[in-house]
Chain A
Amino acid sequence: MSPVSRSIIMTGLVTLLGTWGFWLGTDGFTAFTAETARRVEILKSPRPLPPVQLVDQDGHSFSLRDYEGKLLAVDFIYTRCTTLCQSMGMIFKQIRDLIPEESLGRDFMLLSISFDPDHDDSAGLKRYGKAYDADGRVWRIARVPDKAQLESLLDAFGIVVIPDELGEYEHNAALHLIGRDGRLRLISDIDKAVPFAEQVTALL
């Protein structure tokens, strides 16, 4: 084989391989960030969640398992948050108000989970709940007292929390929907409250 044709064949081969690698690595050129990848993967295969123990703003202990058979919207917060979580609260409130009232509590519930159990005690959660009119039944604000369980929960959801310079946290904030089978089935942007509520309503 002449060097030229060899060069052409090799170039074609590595171009194909490279394109294929990119295709695989980005889920068919759709997911260029880890956050999109997380969402695409959940849509394709809903993910089971660990049965962690939570404590809500009224001090009631419960498990994620208790929600099986219902649709559950989940977000992650910490109550000292001055920026994103404030709007997260508003967005969750908006979603609750968009869902038909007869389904609330019966077929659809909301849960805000704090990933900062050191600072967020029941009183803090209660304050946060009051600010957004979370009743503790349809919409609970909860913490995971056990650190290892919290870790496994964040891991299963794909939430990465990193402390910033101001003593606060940065985290990938999103709206999560857990299906009736207890699996995480949908993740959407926090500014997509209306489409999120529409998707939930369609499933009711």
Chain B
Amino acid sequence: MLYLLLGTPWARHQLEASMTLHMLVQMPLLVIVGITACRLLPDCWRQRLLDGLGGAIPCVVVAMFVSSYWMLPRALDAALTEPLAEISKFITLPLLVGFLLALSWRRLTLIGRGFVWTNFFSMLAVLGWLYIVAPVRICNSYLVNDQQHAGWYMVILATLLFLWWLGTLLVGDGGGPRKPSIDTDRTPE
């Protein structure tokens, strides 16, 4: 449902109008679509699929490559100007980031999860910082102001998420914000 909604020209127009919305609303929502899709699959399918793919590590590696790629300013611009790039964004973010992360999440140890989270925080913060201090416009399709706003939101978000994760690490099992719904359906391995 959400996926179809995001794909409508109206939603795309709204969410791609500013860099902040594009990077911090549309893209995360696409990832969440993938996560949700994975949760809807029966457990045995997920196990088989994960084994077929070679376990959790390849999945995490793919997710990291793909998510970093969509953080490149060039990829953002391309998604706006080239229909092919836009289509691949709508396919790869849910499938190769959200779906694969959710698929491998339960196999990851506390350290594995911590690695994924901290990697994500640091990329978000560093990129946000770059956007703030960049003397030039990084995306041809967005205003400089917008770029700086997006940068600040990214740094703030990275900090808040980090604190949240740190909190769960101190009193929980380090699953981070996604912990509750994932751990309730843990199966024996």
> Which residues of A approach B to under 8 Å, CB–CB?
3, 6-7, 9-11, 13-15, 17-18, 21-22, 25-26, 31-37, 158, 160, 162, 164-165, 170, 172
Contact = CB atoms under 8 A, between A and B. Distances in A.
Contact of B58 (A7, A26, A164, A172): A7
A1 to B, nearest CB: 9
Interface in B38-52: 51
Contacts of A17: 65
Given A25-B74, A25-B75, A33-B77, A14 B140 contact: no
Contacts of B65: 14-15, 17-18, 21-22
B69 A21 contact: yes
A21 B88 CA distance: 13
A105 to B, nearest CB: 33
B29 interface: no
B62 A6 contact: no
3 A-B pairs with least C-beta separation: A10-B54, A18-B65, A34-B77
A15 B69 contact: no
Given A33-B77, A33-B138, 13 more contacts: A10-B54, A10-B57, A14-B58, A17-B65, A18-B61, A21-B65, A21-B69, A25-B69, A26-B74, A34-B73, A34-B81, A34-B140, A160-B81
Q: Which among A14, A26, A37 has the greatest number of chain B C-beta atoms within 10 A?
A: A14
Contacts of B54: 3, 6-7, 9-11
Interface residues of B, number: 29
13 contacts: A10-B53, A10-B58, A11-B57, A14-B61, A18-B66, A33-B139, A34-B141, A35-B137, A36-B74, A158-B140, A160-B141, A162-B141, A170-B143
B161 interface: no
B62 A14 contact: yes
Interface of B: 51, 53-55, 57-58, 61-62, 64-66, 68-69, 72-75, 77-78, 81, 137-145
Nearest to B144: A170
A25 to B, nearest CB: 6
B81 to A, nearest CB: 8
B78 to A, nearest CB: 7
A160 B74 CA distance: 14
Contacts of B72: 25-26, 32-33
A162 B81 CA distance: 13
Contacts of A3: 51, 54-55
B58 A22 contact: no
Nearest to B58: A10
